[in-house]
């Protein structure tokens, strides 16, 4: 859009199944907007095993991979494209460290402290680089790789 500033950046955020279940999606969206992000696109999707495994394929050799995939398909997720200057790092900062138990100690005001449980069930996702952000945004929002079954779709 023409309003995109020269320094603006996009990232992919996900409210994972535990965050949706525990009714934190609206609260997280309020934090997103209050922190200066624009929500360019959003949808609620139910991932299947294949799409969840593909989304997290970088972790396919890790011990926690199977469990991660089962967690990610355990219910619908809210997927959002966020935009602001420095969006990738700023969103990662807001969500806090991967392990929600550690976040509770070191980052008490983080989103993972608010709604995460442990090293796996950590409530939210954020792209970790510009390359990941581009891949992940296409994964969910390009028509060729729909990335799960759409449960709801808000046009913003
Ligand atoms: P994410 O990709 O979801 O934003 O999380 P992250 O960068 O902070 O962490 P990453 O290393 O990419 O791990 C991806 C997701 O795998 C689950 N996990 N479980 N049991 C474990 O030790 C473990 N470690 C990671 C988490 O759900 C993590 O977000
Ligand atoms: Mg990651």
Class at the top of the CATH hierarchy for domain 8-148: alpha beta
**Ligand nearest to the backbone CA of 122:** 1
Domain ranges in the chain are 8-148
**Ligand 1: which residue has its CA nearest to atom 27?**
120
**Ligand nearest to the backbone CA of 94:** 1
The alpha carbon of 56 and the centre of ligand 1 are apart by a number of angstroms equal to 9
Report if pTM > 0.80: yes
| Each residue's pLDDT expressed in tens, for the chain with a length of 156 residues | 445 556 799 999 999 999 999 999 999 999 999 999 999 999 999 999 999 999 999 999 999 999 999 999 999 999 999 999 999 999 999 999 999 999 999 999 999 999 999 999 999 999 999 999 999 999 999 976 556 778 765 544
**Ligand 1: which residue has its CA nearest to atom 8?**
98
**Ligand 1: which residue has its CA nearest to atom 3?**
125
- Which atom number of ligand 1 is nearest to the Cα of residue 97? 8
The catalytic residue positions are 125
Q: What is the ipTM of this complex?
A: 0.97
The alpha carbon of 59 and the centre of ligand 2 are apart by a number of angstroms equal to 9
Q: With contact defined as beta carbons under 8 Å apart, do 8 and 113 qualify? A: no
């Amino acid at each position: 859009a023409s309003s995109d500033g020269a320094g603006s950046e996009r990232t992919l955020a996900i409210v994972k199944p535990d965050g949706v279940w525990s009714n934190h999606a609206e609260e997280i969206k309020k934090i997103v907007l209050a922190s200066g992000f624009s929500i360019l696109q959003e949808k609620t999707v139910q991932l299947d095993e294949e799409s969840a495994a593909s989304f997290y394929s970088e972790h396919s050799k890790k011990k926690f991979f199977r469990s991660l995939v089962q967690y990610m398909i355990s219910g619908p997720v809210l997927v959002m494209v966020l935009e602001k200057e420095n969006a990738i790092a700023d969103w990662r900062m807001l969500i806090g460290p991967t392990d929600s138990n550690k976040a509770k100690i070191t980052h008490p005001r983080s989103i993972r402290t608010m709604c995460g449980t442990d090293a796996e069930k950590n409530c939210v996702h954020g792209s970790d680089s510009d390359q990941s952000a581009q891949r992940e945004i296409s994964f969910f929002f390009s028509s060729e790789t729909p990335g799960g079954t759409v449960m709801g779709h808000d046009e913003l």
